[in-house]
Amino acid sequence: MSINIVQEKSSSQMTKKYKDFLTLDDFNSKDIYELLDQAMEMKRQLKNGIPHPYLKGKVLGMIFEKSSTRTRVSFEVGMKQLGGDGIFLNANDLQLGRGESIEDTAKVLSRYVDGIMIRTFDHSTIEQLAHHADVPIINGLTDMHHPTQVLADLLTIYEYKGTLSNLKLCYVGDGHNNMCHSLLEGAACVGMDLSIATPEGYQPAEEIFEKAKQKALGKGSQITYTTSPKEAAEQADIIVTDVWASMGQEEEEKQRLEAFHSYQVNASICEAAKEDFIFLHCLPAHREEEVTSEIIDGPNSVVYDEAENRLHAQKAILKNLL
């Protein structure tokens, strides 16, 4: 698979031949479908009690600078189900948290583990880690991208709709966050229409938006932006939202509640979507803020299937990289 081959190191170091999972922009549609097919097969095997120890003897180092439920548990359980093991590394307990350079951390961990998953703030941290490490690096989340979550979202959509193309996905909420950016890259990759609704001042990063827009055009799909949630949701097959204040933005919470108050995913907005639309949320959700309980607990919500699919999608990533 063609997953972002990192540049060679200097002549005094080994050439890095491994591949990383940093953003969905590094993928083509064939890669995505290959990962999804493998995820569904391993999901079938798990449900039928069929062992699949593809990573027997392998160890994944898991660095967390941000707290986590789904990311930590799904990666740790995934490694065990694949026959390997995962080591939880709290950044505050590492020398990284006491000033050790990313370069030194990457080089040392590469001597111990077969791959590194990191959940961090600044996306440049993971890029530096990938540049200096001699093992595959997986982006468990940064402030700019959340590719493992969106791969699970695509898996969920694929299971419910039987395809990823010729569908319309509507995203309502904060556009300048990791979920929206990875949805942009994922939708553009597979030829899915994406309509984004955010308040003024909360649009996606321009570079990511424009690049995804051009990539989508090449696949016959379109990516659009509006400030109207109802317009974005018109005839949508999928509606997605996320919290209005992500980790690290707590001091902006009051300001964001005011800015997003009319961007709540509720029955009024969902009436504009297709009758059989599905609702996705990466969780945790702030009920009665970005989404009403009526919607997240309603018949169109598939958020728990989506959460489960983190496990299966990540096992496909791990199998391919490790």
Q: Is 264 a catalytic residue?
A: no
**List 119, 123, 181, 281, catalytic entry:** 119
Tokens of 182: 């990875």
**List 146, 176, 181, 281, catalytic entry:** 146
Closest by CA position to 285, among listed 277, 275, 294: 294
* 95 appears as a binding residue in the annotation: yes
Q: Looking at this protein, which amino acid is placed at residue 248? A: G
**List 20, 145, 282, 314, catalytic entry:** 282
Q: Is 282 a catalytic residue?
A: yes
**List 20, 153, 174, 242, catalytic entry:** 242
Question: In sequence order, what E strands does the chain have?
Answer: 59-64, 85-90, 115-119, 137-141, 168-172, 193-197, 223-226, 238-241, 278-281
**List 38, 81, 149, 314, catalytic entry:** 149
* 292 appears as a binding residue in the annotation: no
* 242 appears as a binding residue in the annotation: yes
Q: Is 170 a catalytic residue?
A: no
Dist CA 273 CA 236 (whole Å): 5
**List 145, 176, 256, 310, catalytic entry:** 310
Q: Is 44 a catalytic residue?
A: no
* 149 appears as a binding residue in the annotation: yes
* 68 appears as a binding residue in the annotation: yes
Q: Is 111 a catalytic residue?
A: no
* 71 appears as a binding residue in the annotation: yes
Q: Looking at this protein, which amino acid is placed at residue 258? A: E
Distance of CA 29 to the CA centre of its chain: 16
- The dihedral sign for the CA sequence 6, 11, 12, 17: positive
* 310 appears as a binding residue in the annotation: yes
* 69 appears as a binding residue in the annotation: yes
136 preceded by a cis bond (ω within 30 of 0): no
Q: Is 310 a catalytic residue?
A: yes
Q: Which residues are marked as active site? A: 119, 146, 149, 242, 282, 310
List residues forming the annotated binding site for L-ornithine.
178, 242, 246-247
List residues forming the annotated binding site.
68-71, 95, 119, 146-149, 178, 242, 246-247, 282-283, 310
List residues forming the annotated binding site for carbamoyl phosphate.
68-71, 95, 119, 146-149, 282-283, 310
